[in-house]
C-alpha cells in the first residue's frame, strides 16, 4: 500500500472543514424535538422543472428528517426582497 503525501496546509484545511461540518450535526442531534427546515426562495414559480425539484427535495427531506418549502417572489424582485426579510426576521 502506498500513501499519498499531503501538504500540511491541505490537511489542516480538510480537518477544519470536517470539524465545521461535524459540530452543527452534533448540535442538531441534541435538539431532536425541533426539525430542521429549508425554505427555498425563488424569483418566480410555475416552472414544471423547478416544481419537480421542489417535490423531490420535500420527499427526500421527509426521509432524512427535515422539512422543505419553496416560496415564490412572484417574478418581482421587491416582493422577493420583502419575503426574504420576513423569513429572516
Each residue's pLDDT expressed in tens, for the chain with a length of 89 residues: 455 565 666 556 555 555 456 555 545 454 556 789 999 888 888 889 889 999 999 999 999 999 999 888 888 888 888 988 888 87
Whether residue 45 contacts residue 74, with contact meaning beta carbons closer than 8 Å, is answered with yes
Three-state DSSP state, 81: helix
pTM > 0.75: no
69, with CB counted inside 10 A (0-12, 13-18, 19+), is middle
The secondary structure of the chain in percent helix, strand, coil, rounded to multiples of 5, reads: 60, 15, 30
Task: Give phi and psi for 42, each to the nearest 5.
Answer: -125, 160
- Measured in residues, the chain has a length of 89
Strand partners, 40: 70
Amino acid at each position: 500500500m502506498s500513501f499519498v503525501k499531503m501538504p500540511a496546509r491541505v490537511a489542516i484545511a480538510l480537518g477544519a472543514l470536517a470539524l465545521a461540518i461535524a459540530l452543527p450535526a452534533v448540535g442538531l442531534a441534541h435538539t431532536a424535538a425541533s426539525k430542521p427546515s429549508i425554505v427555498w426562495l425563488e424569483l418566480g414559480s410555475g416552472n414544471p422543472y423547478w416544481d419537480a425539484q421542489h417535490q423531490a427535495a420535500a420527499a427526500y427531506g421527509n426521509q432524512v428528517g427535515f422539512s422543505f418549502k419553496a416560496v415564490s417572489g412572484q417574478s418581482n424582485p421587491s416582493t422577493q426582497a420583502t419575503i426574504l426579510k420576513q423569513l429572516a426576521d
